[in-house]
Structure 1
Amino acid sequence: MSSEQITRDIIKQRKKIRESISEKRRVHFMRYLSWRFKRLGDSWRKPKGIDAKMRLQRKGYPPIVKVGYKNKNAIRGLHPSGLIPMVISNKKDLELLSPNAHIIYIASSVGLKKRVELLKAAKERGFRVANGGIYGL
């Protein structure tokens, strides 16, 4: 089986899983007491207080992050497009990848001049660049 076929299968599997979990059933992990205090954002923080009801997993409190909510191995870590993300820093890294299976990120340590060269090379080979930015040509 080719890498393109495997990628297509993974994308179909991911889409099926996403559709099977409706928006109502998908778990949204909340920060403890963020519903009570405006100054606390919604972003997840693990409850650590000795009396925190959420840490004790009491009824009526939001769920906490646990290993059971993890995605399947086949789709974990993929870009939302279903492609495998790879960080590159030179043209040599680009030669090892397939445009049908990978989406590329250009490393933050790469300067502007080299970044523009990499973007041109990626575009010629048909790659999608996730962080092309204003230099996305």
Structure 2
Amino acid sequence: MSGQLKTKQYRELRQRLKERKPEFLRYDADKFFKLGRQEKWRRPYGRDNKTRLKIRGFPPKVSVGYRLPKDIRYLHPTGLKKVIVNNVDELIKLKDQKDNVIVIIGGTVGFKKRLDIINKAKEL
């Protein structure tokens, strides 16, 4: 029961912190269409760049303070830990943790092994 309570608390805390974190856009993304949509964050380097200087009223700059706490950092939105599995043996090792873990099949796993992993997961 305490494991479920802990995951619920983690889920709620993660959601609250993610809502508070701003969407980091590239500087001048609102002025130029091509900068705003596809572009990821890039550090502003200009001498008088207001974002670089962290002046109020300008977009926030990416910094360490926005990072999530260690307990929550790599969790699935449900509050459970994600584990990548590449073969059946790795899946069997997770047998006793199945209530606290979400299993993700690795991207490089072929079709036959993928079917084996899925069938074994249904048995467990």
TM-score tier, shorter chain, comes to: 0.7 to 0.9
Q: How many Å separate the matches in 1 of 2:5 and 2:122?
A: 21
Alignment gaps of 5+ in structure 1: 126-137
Letter in 2 for 1:122: A
Q: How many Å separate the matches in 2 of 1:88 and 1:17?
A: 24
Q: Once the 2 structures are TM-superposed, how far is the Cα of residue 17 of structure 1 from its aligned partner?
A: 5.2
Q: State TM-score, norm by structure 2.
A: 0.81
Taking only the aligned residue pairs, the percentage that are identical comes to 37
Of the structure 1 ranges 10-19 and 83-92, higher mean CA displacement relative to structure 2 is found in 10-19
The answer to whether 1:59 aligns with 2:51 is no
Runs of 4+ displaced beyond 4 Å: none
The answer to whether 1:93 aligns with 2:93 is no
Greater per-residue helix proportion: 2
- Residues 52-79 of structure 1: per-residue CA shift (max 9 Å, x gap): 2211212221111111111122111111
- Residues 19-75 of structure 1: per-residue CA shift (max 9 Å, x gap): 4x595x442211111001011135322223333221121222111111111112211
RMSD of aligned C-alpha atoms? 2.2
Report if aligned partners of 2:85, 2:91 keep a CA contact under 8 Å in 1: yes
Correspondence for 1:9 among 6, 10, 15:
6
Report if aligned partners of 1:55, 1:64 keep a CA contact under 8 Å in 2: yes
Alignment gaps of 5+ in structure 2: none
